Chains A and B, each alone.
Chain A
């Protein structure tokens, strides 16, 4: 029997059976939830609730979701890698990373409750496939034609488009509580509120003309004023700021009512690296799924 290595061309990731492109890596981490109990007559080992964590890392042509079906937020989704399937997955966290020196990426983390495998992951008699994940010789139509990988020039701007933005990181955290009921092995999960989302900016500090319209926090670092509102409306209080990020595909994400969470200044040491300013804004949602995440079309 050939000892073939299973490599990325032969692996496809699907959400509820629909392929998703631009995946760079997937990790699966399962815990069978073993519980032990010592009794006078011997030890008992039982399977408790299982949890399977899945992380899907992709190039991100938008900041509104993965290409294809966006699932796992309100309803559970099955995630499969070839014939290996993780069931009942809910999104734990979503992260978008927009770097000025690297591809735009997304990372979706899920928690499912079981993993199964129906057939061998790859037929050992065949070679790497060109997107033909079910082995019938027909490329999966959900795989996109060769396109452009998202890079810094794709960034559309937004509230900070006048700054020398080094990177932007957008994080959504969806903590869930597992609720168990008598007579049911599997729990059901509910979303815990508040849902926290953060948007972080890394900015190269440079000389700025003071008192510019829409002056940023960065300007006021020099003048000694700690905070300055970012939105166009002067009446907007500093405790509730509005930030808009325009993504690569003409999509956009609006963060309304965010507050500054933390800030730091790093670099500028005798090692010669430039001075960088880091700001993180946070939003808490107490109902629904907020801020809205646009579905990539």
Chain B
């Protein structure tokens, strides 16, 4: 029996509830949490608690990977081809497995000797992508579900030992992307894209388990750019310029495209695209450049709702 679980001895597989499991390539981390909501009943005439019942239980699995030229966790789970709007997954059910070897000395996952955890009937809870200039581009996806089964049958196949190439800053396709006008031409050091479905449980009389976890429309999609300043903030704001027929010089609504190219020459490696539509600048903050010696940076945050599409 293994004395510990570490990166080499555990793995994650995802898939459609009605489909097959696919192992996440380039996985970096996985977390499993179970939360139970409790409600207490008391009564007049007694100080002792009458009952302390569980009103709901949910299991959340959060897993991350580097964007390594292989399919994203989102694509592995949804099997969606091409550019896929995430709203299409608001009703889709998935299954997720996390398993670890019982033999700690194995060099890779061994599906014949594992103990695993499987959550079925779960829903996509949140997705986020981070594209830094100093580090790998990463993806983090969370699923939320009700029932969790365990055992040796809940195994995960070993990842392939990829021939692809991890996405790094040079793979950001500046020309192929469509950045907001406030960002265009600047030295972008970090891009962060995220969406959270805000799932809420729906209960019915006669059944303990929620019969559905609906996406709380409209849900927020954010796209944040961090740029290295070459000057102080040059974004004018003139509220007096806003009229009935014109927004003046206030930031406009824009469609944002972030494109990452594939790693040419690395077999099987593909690129990624993220489309955020109808976004508008809602935060802008300049920081740094202080006597500590660091450089000034500006973070521009864009907000839209429901409109995020993912390819790759």
A binds B: yes
Cβ-closest chain B residue relative to A168: B205
Q: How many residues of A contact B (CB 8 A)?
A: 47
For A151-162 the 0/1 string (1 means CB < 8 A from B) is: 111011100010
Q: Across the two chains, which residue of chain B brings its CB closest to A201?
A: B205
- Asked if B43 and A98 sit within 8 Å, CB to CB, the answer is no
When the two chains form their complex, are residues B202 and A164 in contact, meaning their CB atoms are under 8 A apart?
yes
B208 closest partner in A (C-beta): A153
Chain B binding surface SS class: strand
Task: Report the minimal beta-carbon distance from A176 to chain B, rounded to whole angstroms.
Answer: 27
- B206, A146: Cβ atoms closer than 8 Å: no
Q: Which of A10, A102, A147, A153 contacts B207 (CB 8 A)?
A: A153
* Min CB–CB distance A187 → chain B (angstroms): 31
Chain B 29-50 interface residues, beta-carbon cutoff 8 Å to A: 39, 41-50
A59 vs B216: C-alpha distance in the bound complex, in angstroms? 31
Is A8 a contact partner of B42 (Cβ separation < 8 A)?
yes
Q: Give the total of B residues in contact with A, Cβ under 8 Å.
A: 27
CA distance A168 to B49 in the complex (A): 27
Question: Does B7 reach chain A (CB closer than 8 Å)?
Answer: no
Indicate which residue in B44, B46, B51, B207 contacts A152 across the interface (CB closer than 8 Å): B207
A10 to B, closest residue via Cβ: B45
- Per the bound structure, the CA–CA distance linking A155 and B46 in Å amounts to 26
A147→B46 contact, CB < 8 A: no
Greatest chain A CB density within 10 A among B45, B47, B217 is at B45
Interface centre among B41, B46, B49, B204 (most CB of A within 10 A): B46
**Are A12 and B44 in contact, CB atoms less than 8 angstroms apart?**
yes
Interface residues of A in 256-290 (CB under 8 A from B): 270, 272, 274
Residues of B within 8 Å of A103, CB to CB, are 39, 41
Chain B interface: which of A34-42, A111-119, A128-136, A232-240? A128-136
Complex-state Cα separation, A163 to B205, whole angstroms? 9
Q: Is B82 close to A, CB under 8 A?
A: no
Report chain B residues within 8 Å CB of A11: 44-45
CB distance from B212 to the nearest CB of A (A): 8
Counting residue pairs across A and B whose Cβ atoms lie within 8 Å, the total is 104
Instruction: Please tell me if B218 contacts chain A, counting CB pairs below 8 Å.
Output: yes
Which B residue sits closest to A100, measured CB to CB? Answer: B203
Query: Per a CB cutoff under 8 Å, which of B47, B50, B51, B217 touches A128?
Result: B47
Cβ-based interface call for A84 (8 A): no
The 0/1 profile, CB within 8 Å of B marked 1, for residues 70-108 of chain A is: 000000000000000000000000000010111100000
- The segment from A18-26, A44-52, A212-220, A223-231 that touches chain B is A18-26
Q: Which residues of A contact B53 (CB under 8 A)?
A: 148-149, 151
Instruction: Please determine whether A147 and B50 come into contact, CB atoms closer than 8 angstroms.
Output: yes
User: With A and B bound together, what is the CA distance between A101 and B207 in angstroms?
Assistant: 11
> Chain B residues with Cβ under 8 A from A102's Cβ?
39
Inter-chain contact A272/B216, CB cutoff 8 Å: yes
Query: For residue A175, which residues in chain B have a CB less than 8 angstroms away from its CB?
Result: none
Which residue of A100, A101, A133, A148 is within 8 Å of B45 (Cβ)? A133
**B55 contacts chain A at the CB level, 8 A cutoff:** yes
Pick the residue among B44, B204, B208 that contacts A8 (CB under 8 A): B44
A204 located at the interface, meaning its Cβ lies under 8 Å from any Cβ of chain B in the complex: yes
Cβ contacts under 8 Å, B41 to chain A? 22, 59, 103, 149
For residue B211, CB closer than 8 A to chain A, the reply is yes
Does A143 count as interface, using CB distance less than 8 angstroms? yes
**Is B214 engaged at the interface, CB distance under 8 Å to the other chain?**
yes
Contacts of A16 in B (CB 8 A): none
Asked if B218 and A270 make an inter-chain contact with CB atoms under 8 angstroms apart, the answer reads yes
Of all chain A residues, the one with the shortest Cβ separation from B40 is: A149
Q: For the complex, give the distance between the alpha carbons of A21 and B45 in Å.
A: 8
Partner of A130, one of B39, B46, B202, B208: B46
- A164-B211, A168-B205, A274-B202 as given contacts; A149 in contact with B51, CB under 8 Å: yes
Q: Restricting to B180-221, which residues have a CB under 8 Å from any CB of A?
A: 202-208, 211-212, 214, 216-218
**Min CB distance, A24 to chain B, in Å?**
7
B45 CB contacts on chain A under 8 angstroms = 8-13, 19, 21, 23, 129, 131, 133, 140, 143
The chain A residue sitting closest to B217, CB to CB, is A272
Cβ contact within 8 Å between B43 and A24: yes
| Cβ-based interface call for A199 (8 A) | no
Q: Are B205 and A152 in contact (CB under 8 A)?
A: yes
For residue B35, give the distance in angstroms from its CB to the closest CB of chain A: 16
Q: Which residue of B lies closest to A56 (CB)?
A: B44
| B→A interface (CB under 8 Å) | 39, 41-51, 53, 55, 202-208, 211-212, 214, 216-218
Q: List 17 interface pairs A-B (beta carbons < 8 Å), by A numbering.
A: A8-B42, A13-B44, A21-B45, A22-B43, A102-B39, A130-B47, A131-B45, A131-B46, A140-B45, A149-B51, A152-B206, A153-B208, A155-B205, A161-B206, A164-B211, A272-B217, A274-B214
What residues make up the interface of A, taking CB atoms closer than 8 Å to B? 8-13, 19, 21-26, 59, 98, 100-103, 128-131, 133, 140, 143, 146-149, 151-153, 155-157, 161, 163-168, 204, 270, 272, 274
